[in-house]
Structure 1
């Protein structure tokens, strides 16, 4: 993923972030630092996991049709639950490899 899609709501950030200003993005802490001042931004767990994995394409190569389930799964992966690896075919859990599993 080439660019991080975040929005800083505080207008002061845009005043400070002029050409040549150093801007640091700390994804884990959901903050941007510019000119020594911190600005918060929103980022869902799913967005963070997609970014950490290298984007949708990378996650699709790893998880196939279950990429969205992987993006919202708690740490430890996709195991467990009614739509996990133990789910039977035709259960409506996206087991058809041509359908994305939500």
Structure 2
């Protein structure tokens, strides 16, 4: 399950975000919209959090990558990195031409 972890820094957000207020998250513009407010409230999340959300959460990624889930997350965000599947074990290419094997426990 992918849940947003947003901490609103703008105190005026809390003036509009009452018990029954309709709140919408605009993921592309990274804005939280509250009915009754004329402007959206910006938020920020890390690249890792965004990847987790896009994938549907950690559970979904574990189903796909098993024990190598975090190695895949880091490899995706590293500049120029690619994930190589050798058929025996998975390796991560750092972009420098050297492969480092993933430990299979």
How does the TM-score come out when normalised to structure 2? Answer: 0.69
- By percentage of residues, which structure has more strand? 2
How does the TM-score come out when normalised to structure 1? Answer: 0.70
Structure-1 separation of matches of 2:67 and 2:45:
23
- Kindly report which structure 2 residues correspond to 1:1-102, keeping only aligned pairs within 5 A, or say none: 1=1, 3-35=3-35, 36-72=38-74, 73-74=76-77, 78-79=83-84, 81-82=93-94, 87=99, 91=100, 93=101, 95-98=102-105
**Structure 2: tracts of 5 or more residues without a match:** 85-91
Moved over 3 A (4+): none
User: Structure 1 residues 2 and 63 mapped into 2: Cα distance closer, same or farther (>3 Å)?
Assistant: closer
Larger Rg: 2
Give aligned pairs, total.
91
| Cα RMSD, aligned residues only | 2.8
